Structures are given as C-alpha cells and as structure tokens.
Amino acid sequence: MSASDNSNSIQQEFAPLKNDRLLRALRFETIDTTPVWMMRQAGRYLPEYKATRAEAGDFMSLCKDTDRATEVTLQPLRRYDLDAAILFSDILTIPDAMGLGLYFETGEGPKFKHPIRTQADLDRLPLLEPNDSLDYVMRAVTSIRKALNGQVPLFGFSGSPWTLATYMIEGGSSKDYRYTKGFLYSNPEFLHQLLDKLATAVIDYLDAQVVAGAQILQIFDSWGGALGHRQFIDFSHAYNKRIVAELKVRHPQIPVVLFTKGGGLWLDVQADSEANVLGLDWTMPIDRARQVLNESQRQLTKQYKKIQSSKAIQGNLDPATLYGSPATIRAEVNAMLDSAYAGGEKTGYIANLGHGITQWVNPDNAKVFIDAVHDYKI
C-alpha cells in the first residue's frame, strides 16, 4: 500500500467532514464565506480553559491527559463558529521527549533544565519515537478527531527546527538568542547537526499525527524572523522545505501551512516549498503578499520548467486588535478582507490572527472577530 493509500485509509476511519470550507479555500475552490480560526484559540483567555487547567494541575499534565486535552480543544468550538480545530499541545513536546527537562516558571514561560551547549549534549540526544515518548499527543489527536465527529477539520502542528533549536540552546525564551546565534556564526556545523536531528524528528512527529487523525498540518517557525536574510535561508527555510517535501511524499493529500512570524520579507523564499499555505503576521499587507507570491510562482515555474502551484495565504490581524471595541474590530476585519480580495480573488485565503490570541482578550471580542469574518461579503 502506498503512503497516499495508507493516509486515505486512516482518514476514512473517522466521520465524514461536514464543514470543509477551510480545505476548499486553501485548494482555491469556491467558498460561500471566508474560513476563520485562531492560533491559540484553546487557551487562557477562556474561563472554561482556566477551570480545566486548574483541574489538571499544570500545563504539561493537561497536555498529557487525553480527556482534558480533548475537552479544551473543543471549548472554543462550543462558543464560536470556527472553521477548524487545532490540537491542544505545545511546540516544545519534541525537546521535552528528548530529555531536556521542560518546566514552567510562573510569569517566565518555558525553561529547560538541560540546554544543548556542547557536542556531548548534542550527541546524547536520542532519536525520537513519536508513538513511544509522544504517544500522549497521538492519543489526543485521535480522541479529538473522534469527538469532533466531522464538525470541522483538525490541525496537527509542530515547531520548526530553528524555533525548537533556539529554545533548546538558550534553555528557554530569549530576546537576543545569544547562544544560538553564537553557534550560528562561530560553529555553524554544530547548529546544522542539531537542526538536522530536529528536522527528522519533526517529520516523524507530524507523520504520526496524520496517522492518528490530523487532517491539516501547521509548522510554527515562531522565531524565524530573528534571523538575517541569508541565515534564514540556510538555518530555517532549508529545513522547513525538507520537512514539507517529505510529508508530501508520505501524505500527499494532507495540506501544510508554513507560518514564520516576521517572515513577510521572505515570502519569495518560502514560495520555493511544497507548503499549500503561507501564514502572515500583522506586518505584511495581504495584497502585497499576493503580488510577491504571484511573481514568485512565475519565476519558479521558469526555474523548474514546471508550473508551480499557487500558495494560499493565512492571517493576519494584529491580535491586539481584539482589545478594541466591537466597531473597531469589525472595521479592522473588513480592511483585512478588503486587502485579501483586492486582486479579485474569491478564494485562496484563510482568516486568522497574525499570531496567537492573548490571555487578556475578552472572549466576546473573539466572537466579534469570527462573526465579522463570516459576515463579510466576498
């Protein structure tokens, strides 16, 4: 059985999809209205999430509890008319499974007890076995997919190799990436060795999520925008491109979204990948992104002597917009969608925030955003 046949067999085990608006849009098919979901849509801005997390005890315990991870994934879908669900998990599950000792400090975010700073540290990293050390993620994917019962498609996801490497080397979040960029310029081979291991791990991790039931995948290159132009190509894009290419061999019918925060400058670079969708943060106008991608498609068609598929776009409302009044939110949504459809396109676009929804947003304002997207006349 081919990889494609195997993937189709897996997906047929679940209920048929009732709302395929998002999948139709990314395939540039006709849609009745713009599809919308939010990064971090299951999270701390919802009181029901806070209650469930309190029951679990801590964040990672919540991620590893199949029933509660399923519950918090479904919570925003009960409140809002969303067009997708996204697995409740974290981008740092891979380094945690590699034994780096993930923990969370109140008010400081994630940290690692054993950062990667030496060749010996790097050599000790084990090969990732997603269905062993990360089996709780796969159980959650299958449980969520069953609980959705075909309501909307389910996103699986992973952090990009570059983003994971920054956390693993710095030992947590960073503003200047002192150690990671230090390796980049003083010992690039060390960094490439780590990125190579992580690319293999991400491929296997996302592959396992598809087998468990994910219908669409997103790669979060959260810190790609911290790189210089040449360094982005060599230390981020090259690995993301490799991951997407291998996933397309294993599961050609599964769409992939590539999101680089701060990556608008490199849309022409990212166009040279097999990703179906490129995500935008709030710094890149959508109409300009369309122009860049259309020109990139023409140039890549000449380069490869083969017609290149168009890239759909996802994004890009500033999450802080949701602190505004309902009237302000609706006006900003309309402006965003005017930009998305400025070239006469009637599809090929997914509405989202330019990054994750923040914990201080009033849940009612999230509803204003979602409803405003659906109310907009294409």
Phi, psi values for residue 349, rounded to 5°: -145, 140
Binding site annotation covers 167? Answer: yes
Alpha helix segments (H runs only) across 213-358: 229-232, 238-250, 267-270, 286-304, 326-340
83 marked ligand binding residue: no
Q: Is 53 a catalytic residue?
A: yes
Is 44 among the annotated ligand-binding positions?
A: yes
User: DSSP for 112-130?
Assistant: ESS---SHHHHHTPPPP-H
The catalytic position among 20, 65, 90, 204 is 90
Give catalytic status of residue 205 as yes or no.
no
3-state helix, strand, coil in the chain (%, to 5): 55, 10, 35
- Tell me how far the alpha carbon of residue 299 is from its chain's centroid: 27
Active site residue 239: no
Task: Establish whether 90 is a catalytic residue.
Answer: yes
Q: Is 135 a catalytic residue?
A: no
- Residue 2, annotated ligand binder? no
DSSP assignment of 27-77 equals TT---SS--B--TT-SSTTSHHHHHHHHHHSSHHHHHH-HHHHHHHHHHHH
Q: Dihedrals φ, ψ of 178, to 5°?
A: -55, -50
Of 49, 80, 167, 341, catalytic: 167
Question: Binding site annotation covers 218?
Answer: no
Say whether 176 counts as a known binding-site residue: no
Q: What are phi and psi of 130, to 5 degrees?
A: -55, -35
- List the end-to-end C-alpha distance of the chain, in Å, as a whole number: 42
Is 43 labelled a binding residue? yes
Cβ atoms of residues 104 and 172 within 8 Å: no
Options 53, 79, 117, 288, the catalytic residue? 53
Q: Which of 20, 21, 40, 145 is catalytic?
A: 40
**Catalytic annotation, pick one of 44, 79, 117, 288:** 44
What are the residues facing 14 on neighbouring strands?
A: none
**What type of residue sits at position 36?**
V
- Residue among 221, 336, 242 at smallest CA distance from 290: 336
Binding residue ranges for substrate: 40-44, 90, 167, 222, 355
Numbered residues of the known binding site: 40-44, 90, 167, 222, 355
Catalytic residues: 40, 44, 53, 90, 167
